[in-house]
Amino acid sequence: MTRATTPVMKKATPEVSVNRTFVFWDIKSFPVPPGFDPRRVRQCIQRLLKNYDYSGPVTIYVVGMITDVHDDILRALSSTGIILHYAPYGTSDIMSLMFECMEDNPPPANILGICYPRAFATPQSGFNLFRPFPYSSAQEDAISWINLILAVSGSLKHEDTFPETDESASWFCILCYDHPPGQGFDSFTSHLSSPEHVLTRNGHLTIGDNEPMSKFEDEDGKPSPIVWWRPMFCLPKSDPVRVKTSYQNFSFLTCVEAYPGRGCG
Which residues of the shown chain bind Zn ion in the complex (CB under 5 A)?
Answer: 173, 175-176, 197
Contacts of 105 (CB under 8 A, 6+ apart): 20, 22
Q: What is the separation, in whole angstroms, between the first and last Cα of the chain?
A: 36
Minimal distance, residue 189 CB to Zn ion, in Å: 12
Shortest Cβ 50–Zn ion spacing (Å): 35
Q: Return the number of the residue (66 or 112) whose C-beta is nearest Zn ion.
A: 66
Give the DSSP letter string of 119-149: GPPPPPTTEEEEBSS----HHHHHHHHHHHH
Q: Which is nearer to Zn ion, 129 or 173 (CB)?
A: 173
Half-sphere exposure of 258 (CA within 13 A, CB side): 9
If the CB atoms of residues 61 and 145 are measured against Zn ion, the closer one turns out to be 61
* Nearest alpha carbon to residue 169 among 183, 181, 186: 183
**Residue among 47 and 197 whose Cβ is closer to Zn ion:** 197
What whole-number distance in Å separates Cα of residue 249 and Cα of residue 230? 7
Query: 24 and 62 in contact (C-beta within 8 Å)?
Result: no
Residue closer to Zn ion, measured from CB, 149 or 176: 176
The whole-angstrom separation of Cα 144 and Cα 222 is 24
